[in-house]
Amino acid sequence: MGLGTITLGSFTISFISGCSDNGPTGPAINNDIQDVSITVDISLSENQSLAHVGGTLALGSNALDIVGILLYRSSETSVLAYSRRCTHNGCTIGAFQSGTSTCPCHGSKFDTSGSVVNGPAATALKQYHATLQGTIITITP
């Protein structure tokens, strides 16, 4: 079993990977990441937009989502996290502005609950689990 952490600017990626004994020739390495989490410290200046309810932040590519993650501070105790991958054609959507995120490819719009407000996308954004403890947001699959 291995444990690792990578720090990328304003957020940290942690992962645990393991191996399994799958066959007669001995242990086989399992290259799948078993558990991945990203942490965002909202006390850092680059993340301070999430220090207050209604704040948003767009993260770039990471171990959870190659196109990035959108964060929205929905209350004093909770943050919502969504994939930046448009559900219509897979383009990378922009940051939330005035409560919506827009896909630059075909104009789909998503609100801060991840729901489609304007097509052609027909399904909501993929949502990640996010927890807030103190100034640390932890995002997991």
Band of residue 115 on the pLDDT scale cut at 50, 70, 90 = very high
Look-up: residue for tokens 């799948």? 32
Banded pLDDT at 3 (limits 50, 70, 90)? very low
The domains of the chain, with CATH numbers, are: 2-140 (2.102.10.10)
Tokens of 54: 């209604």
pLDDT exceeds 60 at position 20: no
Residue pLDDT, tens place only, 61-104: 999 999 999 999 999 999 999 999 999 988 999 999 999 999 99
Q: pLDDT, tens digit, for every residue of 24-50? A: 333 333 334 458 899 999 999 999 999
CA dihedral 65, 45, 41, 82 (to 10 degrees): -30
